[in-house]
């Protein structure tokens, strides 16, 4: 599977790296590894972890405690409860989070919105890398450049496309979709899929174009056509990369607020993902800390699991997408 490593991801070229005093990192570190530098490193690490840690502790403290004393007083007066979680997930009143339903919405939105771009981008990246046709470079550059079109530019027209269809000079070319309720999920999948393509093609293209030429040519000589090569040779080879794109897309969709606000909010409780609900709670009930803290952790738990268990692929994807050459 070494072929799937992009040139940039082959990171530790030098054996030993910064450990030896000779490497630049090692030398700078030596200079920096004064007590002062160690202190700064610890300070940064603390600054990065303490806010999350505080929220985690708070989410388990009883409501009265959260609202009247800081989470650090937990160390002198430890009280734990799961009430916040059961309240925010399953609470009966409209003002409680009722996050369980929103959790499912997030799940329903995310799964297809990850699968579709993976397949579509893999196909496109393969064509751009291995099928010889005129204008290939230009199409690739166009797709790459689209990566940087702000989402905001697409929102209003795309929403109109869904609600009114396409009309040109008074002729209805495409009908309005006219979706409602749970059907709004389709809109969200569609929007997320469109928005993911530029980055996905770029990321996968980096890997696919580095596959060994001999293998492809041998397959061609044996009479395999492109769909067959794609299915039987390329797909197995790019699985780790596909996974890294999948993780990116998963985190992006699960954590998205803007797209969901615009394309899903028509369905209210039936379609809104957790991010929308949380933003709502933070806005209207900003002082209900017992719900905000536990709600925030409910929304983080799935991405954290995905992230921590698949971190290796995620980092590899980052490196491939960012430091090529």
Partner 1 sequence: MNFDLADQADKFVMLLGGLIAFVVLVGGLLLVLDVIPTKLAERREARLAAAAEAGAPIPAGAARGREGWLAFGFLAPALLLLSIGLIFPAIRTTILSFMNGNSTEWVGFDNYTWMFGQPDIQNVLLNTLVWVLVVPALAATIGLLYAIMVDKARGEAVAKALIFLPMAISFVGASIIWKFVYAYRSGEQDQIGLLNQIVVWFGGEPKQWLLEEGFKLNTLLLIVIMIWIQAGFAMVILSAAIKAIPAEIVEAARIDGTNAWQMFWRITLPAIRPALIVVVVTITIATLKVFDIVRTMTNGNYDTSVIANEMYNQSFRYGETGHGSALAVFLFVLVIPIVIFQIRNIRKQRSEA
In a 13 Å sphere around the CA of 43, the CA atoms on its Cβ side amount to: 6
Q: Whose Cβ is closer to partner 1: residue 23's or residue 239's? A: 23
Q: Whose Cβ is closer to partner 1: residue 22's or residue 62's? A: 22
Residue (of 213, 174, 189) closest to 119 by Cα position: 189
CA distance 127 to 121: 10
Least distance (Å) from partner 1 to the CB of residue 218?
Answer: 18
Secondary structure, 3-state, 240-280? HHHHHHHHHHHHHHHHCCHHHHHHCHHHHHHCCCHHHHHHH
Least distance (Å) from partner 1 to the CB of residue 114?
Answer: 10
For the chain, percent helix, then strand, then coil, each to nearest 5?
75, 0, 25
Least distance (Å) from partner 1 to the CB of residue 1?
Answer: 19
Least distance (Å) from partner 1 to the CB of residue 49?
Answer: 5
Q: Whose Cβ is closer to partner 1: residue 60's or residue 270's? A: 270
Least distance (Å) from partner 1 to the CB of residue 239?
Answer: 16
Q: Whose Cβ is closer to partner 1: residue 1's or residue 13's? A: 13
Q: Whose Cβ is closer to partner 1: residue 73's or residue 80's? A: 73
């Amino acid at each position: 599977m070494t072929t799937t490593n992009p040139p940039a991801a082959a990171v530790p070229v030098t054996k030993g790296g910064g450990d030896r005093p000779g490497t630049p990192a090692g030398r700078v570190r030596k200079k920096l590894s004064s007590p002062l530098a160690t202190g700064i490193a610890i300070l940064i690490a603390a600054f990065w972890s303490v806010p999350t840690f505080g929220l985690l502790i708070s989410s388990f403290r009883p409501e009265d405690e959260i609202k009247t004393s800081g989470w650090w007083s937990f160390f002198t007066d430890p009280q734990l409860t799961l009430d916040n979680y059961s309240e925010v997930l399953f609470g009966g009143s409209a003002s409680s989070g009722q996050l369980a339903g929103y959790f499912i919405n997030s799940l329903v939105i995310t799964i297809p919105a990850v699968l579709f771009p993976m397949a579509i981008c893999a196909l496109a990246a393969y064509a751009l890398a291995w099928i010889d046709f005129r204008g290939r470079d230009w199409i690739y550059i166009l797709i790459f450049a689209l990566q940087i079109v702000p989402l905001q530019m697409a929102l209003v027209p795309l929403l109109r496309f869904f609600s009114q269809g396409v009309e040109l000079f008074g002729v209805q070319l495409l009908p309005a979709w006219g979706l409602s309720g749970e059907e709004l999920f389709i809109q969200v999948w569609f929007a997320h899929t469109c928005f993911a393509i530029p980055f996905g093609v770029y990321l996968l293209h980096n890997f696919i174009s580095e596959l060994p030429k001999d293998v492809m040519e041998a397959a061609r000589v044996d009479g395999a056509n492109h769909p067959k090569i794609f299915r039987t040779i390329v797909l197995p080879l790019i699985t780790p990369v596909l996974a890294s794109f999948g993780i990116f897309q998963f985190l992006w969709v699960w954590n998205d607020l803007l797209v969901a606000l615009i394309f899903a909010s028509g369905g209210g409780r039936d379609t809104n993902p957790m991010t929308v609900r949380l933003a709502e709670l933070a806005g209207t009930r900003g002082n209900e800390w017992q719900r905000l803290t536990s709600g925030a952790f409910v929304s983080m738990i799935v991405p954290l699991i995905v992230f921590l268990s698949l971190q290796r692929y995620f980092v590899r994807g980052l490196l491939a997408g960012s430091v090529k050459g």
